[in-house]
Every structure is written in structure tokens, then in C-alpha cells.
Structure 1
């Protein structure tokens, strides 16, 4: 049996995702889908922590790229951040769910949490330091709303996209 000499180093396996360099946003999104799950295939559960907003953004971006809808990344990224931020700050839940759905002419992003308390769209003044989340959703999404579920609610937004 041949042994490794003292000066030989173990060879490292290539850990890039899809040939993307580690640390790149593309590597992070592919890893997020691999590790967390695909929100277009079913609800993905995330911890109710502020850093989960970054994971939710990466998941939504990867799904949109898979659907060749990269032109909607910026808007969807901002909007999902706002919905996740509300779920984390206002529900007291340990986890929340994320779903990304596509139907003819629309994409829909849902953030599901166990609270049945409805979010409120408040008037926004230029000097306000908080409370702009739903205002942004209202202004940027083509449609948005809240559906009460048997255990909690789903807060969602939709963007009009080209038909397949």
C-alpha cells in the first residue's frame, strides 16, 4: 500500500457549484437551493431570524433564473425581503415558509407564518424611519395580499411576467 509522503498535501476536491467560484452570488444561490430546498417545488421552511431574508432572496433569485426571468430579480428580491422582514419582526414565530409559484403570465411569492394577525398598510411620511415595507410592496408589486390559512396566513405578492 503506497502511503503519502510527509511533504505531500491531500488534494482538495473542487467545491464549486456548477463551476462557479466559491463565494460568488451564483455559488451561494445554488448552494441555498441544494441545502434548503426549492421553493418552486413546495414550501421551504426557514428560521425566523433576520439572516433568513438573505437566504430567501437567494432562493427566489435562483428560481427566477431557472425560469429565465432574471429581469425580475431586483424587484422580487426587494419585495421578498420586505415580506420576510415582517414575518420575522412581527409574528413571534420560530419559522416561516417560502413558496415561489408560476402560472401563465404571473409569478407569485408567498411568505407563510403561523400568526393570523393581518399586516397593515400604513401611510408613509418622508421622515419615517420604519413602516415602509408594505408601502414598497404596494407600490412595486402588480398585486399583493394576505390569505388566512387554517393555521396562520400567507402574505404574497405577484409580478406580471411574459407568458411561457
Structure 2
């Protein structure tokens, strides 16, 4: 739910794809990350704002979506990619020392949130075929069903949601 001065972007799923990732490759590392940093479904997991934290966030997302929630490898791949993009933005553009990762599931939906202390809003920019950077929010916009930003008294939460088929 976009809040206060938030921005919400409902989207339909399209065929956009990015580099392929295999959930089985990092399975052991993902379980170790969960043990070391905590479960983002229980509480927000604080991570240092360093480039290597993107790998930790990807591993946490992988183990939650694939193992804990039992969702498909394809959905896991998409969530891991989008987590990486939101974390990359938090690390590169906010000047924060720490950011938080939170993952929520409710009937028919999953939601991933990245909180940082900056109130600067992310901007969806046009992407050109030969661009080598600046595709993060473009990918979020294409792969997520909804995404947005909730401004907080101290910072913001950038989030995306994806529909899932509950069994």
C-alpha cells in the first residue's frame, strides 16, 4: 500500500527477462545467510550498505521464496533479481550505512521491502537498448505486479509485490 506521499505503480506481467539465475547453485550459501543474518519474514533484517550485501539479500530472498514458501524456481529467480535491483539502488544512491530487508506473504501475494534512511525518491527512467546501467527500476516495473515507495518520517521503503498462486 503506497502511503503518505508514496508512489504506486500497478503493472501487468510481461515477458521481460534478464540474465538467468539457478536457485540450486547457491542453496547452501542461502541457508547459511539465513542462519547468520536472520529471517526477513520474521523481522526486518538490517544489512550494511555495501555492494557485497546484495549477494546476502539475494540469498535470503532465495531461501525464503523457494524453501520456506515453496514457490516456483521461476518466481524465485524473478524475486531474487528484483531484490538485487532494490538493494543496489539503496547501496548506490542513498548514502546510508545500513538498509533493511523485509519479506511478507499474504494470500495470493508476496511483498518485498527495502528500507533506507534517505527520503530521495527513486526515479523510473527510460531505458535504451545499449544502456549498461540504470535498468533496475525498469526491471522492477516489468516483472512486479505492483511497486512503490512509502515515505517514512526518517527515510523510505521501496517495495514490490507479485501475485502468487496459493495451493
TM class by shorter chain equals 0.7 to 0.9
Q: Number of residue pairs matched?
A: 141
Partner of 2:72: 70
Partner of 1:113: 116
Partner of 2:34: 33
TM-score by length of 1: 0.83
Instruction: Determine the C-alpha separation between the residues in 2 that align with 1:125 and 1:59.
Output: 31
Please list every run of at least 4 consecutive aligned residues from structure 1 whose deviation after the TM superposition is greater than 3 angstroms.
none
In the TM superposition, 1:83-162 aligns within 5 A as 83-162=86-165
Structure 2 unmatched ranges of 5 or more: 1-24
Instruction: Determine the C-alpha separation between the residues in 2 that align with 1:120 and 1:67.
Output: 31
Instruction: Determine the C-alpha separation between the residues in 2 that align with 1:66 and 1:126.
Output: 37
Residues 61 and 70 of structure 1 are in contact (CA less than 8 Å); yes or no, is this contact kept in structure 2? Answer: no
TM-align CA RMSD = 1.1
TM-score by length of 2: 0.81
Structure 1 unmatched ranges of 5 or more: 1-23
Instruction: Determine the C-alpha separation between the residues in 1 that align with 2:128 and 2:63.
Output: 34
Which moves more between the two structures, 151-160 or 127-136? 127-136
The secondary structure found in structure 1 opposite 2:100 is strand
1:99-157 CA-partner distances (Å, limit 9, x unpaired)? 00001100001000000000000111112222111001101111111011121000011
Partner of 1:5: none
Are residue 61 (structure 1) and residue 80 (structure 2) matched?
Answer: no
